[in-house]
Structure 1
């Protein structure tokens, strides 16, 4: 009998994208897949566009938008103006448990519910309906190892007091306390719900991780040895990645522009679906790119709060945001795009030679599988931790210095861009990434480690249904 699974990606494009890739793997193995979608509480063109693209590209997957949760009568604006955005997100996801429960009950059969890491309240829905429940951890095994530990540390520990002091945890190289997500390192109101969600990860029947074993050997070993959850059995951990989009955009203007550029000559700068900078930082990037003399393709978003996924941004006014005359002076060597680019297609284009990235895990894997050296510029969430793993553990990138001081200066942009494109160190880095790209390809092929892990997961799921 055909397996039927429901995937529940929570809020945000960055969480939807890898879950859609997971849906494709389930389809490949003969399962019927439904993705239960949570619509953002405020209108989000980015999210709507991502859902439309996903549905059009995957006709065999059912996409179901859950009805909104009942409105809170005590709040006229849904709390958007008063609550911390992380607290608001978790409250919203908790309220969505009722529509999720009703939807699951309406289906003729569900063999498993697969949750995003932030959807821990849905564990209770699965328990009520007696459903096997798994997490899909869309970031890396290193992050998972660190955050499982953090969630169970003495709550009297305040990371804000540790500053740049080094922290040592199983599965990770020593890292600065300040490399943790700001909500945790600075003790914001968002820390409690984040750590609460992470605390519940071991309650699941297993954790699917979007990585491959040879990329994160130390972290995977620590997870499987139970070193990251000292007071609870660690559920099975299945490394099933890299799951990245196949791309397929052909008509976008930037791809036609790349077609006219020499091989490996273009630096691509893109900072994710929520990555934004103030005008001053955009000006520094522009000056650095111009002085470097390198060809570039740069995605610019309007300034805003990069951690507030609930507020859509207006289209950027490039003439107002960038230095006067910049677009004209660089028209022969660079292209600036507003808000979005077909990133996977750009990264895999023969003309692209390096990737300036915010170190979101989706982008990290897309860069690795394209064989590009990474210039690391983390902005929010777990991206500082990803930077540590990319630079210190995987040795696939270098740091753009200054992001911790809130301003990366033009000189640093110029220096690093020229280094990665012109100097021997950049060439050595490119060779190293090419080797890892090969291992990534092998992992997901039949007989590879990630393919075998997914087969093992399906066998375990079938065994659970017999209990």
Structure 2
């Protein structure tokens, strides 16, 4: 009898890719995989997500991709702190479509929904199908989210917004400045945005299990906290947590290009560990201002080091490099620098022997790709959980330094130059590189035979099978 797991990814490339890595792992273990998708540019406001899904579908012919029929007048996804509320409404509107799809699918053993789509668990509960959540960030972010509704204490009128930079204490985590928390909880506590976030977070335990995009040794304290009864107040219990990060498709799931990207050939001609790689995510929401782009350019040029820099226009569209960068910059740096528009194959660049450091926005997929490549990093967080990721990268993980200017809204050229030199020239940089190499070794071990991530996946599949068998026995008894 074929075993089927249905995946319900989130509407962002950064959420979709980890779910597809999970799909690859499920296929390796003999499961059939179906993916239910919401694909509607009228909802997302762009075609990037649909294009990414198309590339992956072509690369994974064994996976069945099903686009849910569109609903009438769907809510459009809002930017910024209002995103979660609009997303929750969208998922609710599509619940009937998901229900119909699951009813039409034979022998669904389990459904795994994206962490943004917890509203869909109502469908799985109604149908009696085990429902799990895929948390696409790390264990520390999950531990923070699980504790946020309770961490201020009952009756405490202080809001997170009022705390400013004051530290907030979480079990299993270093103190987190309130200003580093998710934007939604820094809103007015009476706002719909804040209430939607807290309602969503209170549902975290209401699932049969949570698959987390990390490996245990990278975030040992946070993983231990998630398994500690003190993580939630009395009467609430965290479901099983499965750390299944760094699956077999890490970095390649976006679909292989027909031709090798030109930047890789350029890297081939550079000395080992000599190139600064700057890239700020795959979604286009991390664009820098024109002023900031000029500061980065000036700092790179003054550093004298080789660089590969992915540039996006401040307001989207095709960047005009001559207009955005300082006069003559491209000509003066042509011997040791390369500027790429919009996109580069990040995972492949990070794995290249020429790459010496990675300037990153600290999105979790980027963090894991940097860890897997053993590359020390320079942190430049921009939104969502990236500020909290930065704290861990610089602190407990010890594989990154921080660009401090992001807190003032502008990283100046002098700091860019100074931090690049720190990583590539100083003793502190050599220490960062050594710790990055240790984490790389641990990442490889996590997915090797007997490794922690493989063991976690086996536990998850065992739970799925156990629940399926119990469901079948109940059906026979009825």
The answer to whether TM tops 0.5 is yes
Contact 2:109 2:129 (8 Å CA) reproduced: yes
Which residue of 2 is the match for residue 69 of structure 1? 71
Distance, in Å, in 2 between the alignment partners of 1:332 and 1:368 is 29
Q: Which of 113, 119, 122 is matched with 1:121 structurally?
A: 119
Kindly tell me: are residues 162 and 245 of structure 1, through their superposed partners in 2, closer, same or farther at Cα, counting changes over 3 Å?
A: same
Distance, in Å, in 2 between the alignment partners of 1:356 and 1:35 is 33
Deviation at 1:245, TM superposition (A): 2.3
Q: Which of 248, 251, 254 is matched with 2:260 structurally?
A: 251
Report SS of the residue matched to 1:398: strand
Which residue of 1 is the match for residue 391 of structure 2? 388
Contact 1:117 1:197 (8 Å CA) reproduced: no
Distance, in Å, in 2 between the alignment partners of 1:300 and 1:33 is 36
Report SS of the residue matched to 1:5: strand
Which residue of 2 is the match for residue 309 of structure 1? none
Report SS of the residue matched to 1:414: helix
Is 83-92 or 238-247 further displaced after alignment? 83-92
Contact 1:359 1:383 (8 Å CA) reproduced: yes
Distance, in Å, in 2 between the alignment partners of 1:290 and 1:195 is 46
Which residue of 2 is the match for residue 181 of structure 1? 182
1:184-210 per-residue CA deviation (whole Å, 9 max, x = no partner) reads 234475333233222211000001111
Kindly tell me: are residues 214 and 79 of structure 1, through their superposed partners in 2, closer, same or farther at Cα, counting changes over 3 Å?
A: closer
Residues paired across the two proteins, number: 455
RMSD of the alignment, in Å? Answer: 1.9
Deviation at 1:275, TM superposition (A): 1.4
Deviation at 1:237, TM superposition (A): 0.7
Deviation at 1:404, TM superposition (A): 1.4
Distance, in Å, in 1 between the alignment partners of 2:113 and 2:44 is 22
Q: Which of 121, 142, 145 is matched with 1:144 structurally?
A: 142
Q: Which of 236, 261, 286 is matched with 2:240 structurally?
A: 236
Is 379-388 or 28-37 further displaced after alignment? 28-37
Distance, in Å, in 1 between the alignment partners of 2:456 and 2:4 is 19
Kindly tell me: are residues 29 and 156 of structure 1, through their superposed partners in 2, closer, same or farther at Cα, counting changes over 3 Å?
A: farther
Distance, in Å, in 2 between the alignment partners of 1:181 and 1:84 is 12
1:52-91 per-residue CA deviation (whole Å, 9 max, x = no partner) reads 221122111122222222216xx8xx58699934432322
Q: Which of 438, 448, 451 is matched with 1:448 structurally?
A: 451
Distance, in Å, in 2 between the alignment partners of 1:48 and 1:316 is 22
Q: Which of 415, 418, 432 is matched with 1:429 structurally?
A: 432
**2:108 aligned with 1:106:** no
Contact 2:81 2:183 (8 Å CA) reproduced: no
1:102-140 per-residue CA deviation (whole Å, 9 max, x = no partner) reads 211121221111011110110111111111000111111
Distance, in Å, in 2 between the alignment partners of 1:142 and 1:79 is 26
**2:162 aligned with 1:161:** yes
Distance, in Å, in 2 between the alignment partners of 1:97 and 1:108 is 19
Q: Which runs of 5+ in 2 are unaligned?
A: 471-478
Contact 1:136 1:209 (8 Å CA) reproduced: yes
Which residue of 2 is the match for residue 260 of structure 1? 269
Q: 1:319-330 maps to which residues of 2 (within 5 A)?
A: 319-330=322-333
Kindly tell me: are residues 92 and 211 of structure 1, through their superposed partners in 2, closer, same or farther at Cα, counting changes over 3 Å?
A: same
**2:300 aligned with 1:289:** yes
Deviation at 1:253, TM superposition (A): 1.1
Which residue of 1 is the match for residue 309 of structure 2? 298
Distance, in Å, in 2 between the alignment partners of 1:186 and 1:391 is 27
**2:21 aligned with 1:17:** no
Report SS of the residue matched to 1:466: helix
Kindly tell me: are residues 406 and 448 of structure 1, through their superposed partners in 2, closer, same or farther at Cα, counting changes over 3 Å?
A: same
Deviation at 1:228, TM superposition (A): 1.9
Kindly tell me: are residues 436 and 219 of structure 1, through their superposed partners in 2, closer, same or farther at Cα, counting changes over 3 Å?
A: same
Which residue of 2 is the match for residue 316 of structure 1? 319
Kindly tell me: are residues 119 and 79 of structure 1, through their superposed partners in 2, closer, same or farther at Cα, counting changes over 3 Å?
A: closer
Kindly tell me: are residues 79 and 213 of structure 1, through their superposed partners in 2, closer, same or farther at Cα, counting changes over 3 Å?
A: closer
Report SS of the residue matched to 2:292: helix
TM-score normalised per structure 1 = 0.93
Kindly tell me: are residues 422 and 377 of structure 1, through their superposed partners in 2, closer, same or farther at Cα, counting changes over 3 Å?
A: same
Deviation at 1:446, TM superposition (A): 1.6
Deviation at 1:407, TM superposition (A): 0.9
Distance, in Å, in 1 between the alignment partners of 2:309 and 2:192 is 34
Distance, in Å, in 2 between the alignment partners of 1:87 and 1:324 is 44
Contact 1:69 1:98 (8 Å CA) reproduced: no
Distance, in Å, in 1 between the alignment partners of 2:401 and 2:178 is 19
TM-score normalised per structure 2 = 0.91
Kindly tell me: are residues 446 and 297 of structure 1, through their superposed partners in 2, closer, same or farther at Cα, counting changes over 3 Å?
A: same
Distance, in Å, in 2 between the alignment partners of 1:167 and 1:260 is 47
Q: Which runs of 5+ in 1 are unaligned?
A: 305-312
Distance, in Å, in 1 between the alignment partners of 2:268 and 2:112 is 40
Report SS of the residue matched to 1:416: helix
Deviation at 1:246, TM superposition (A): 4.0
Distance, in Å, in 2 between the alignment partners of 1:83 and 1:267 is 32
Which residue of 2 is the match for residue 3 of structure 1? 3
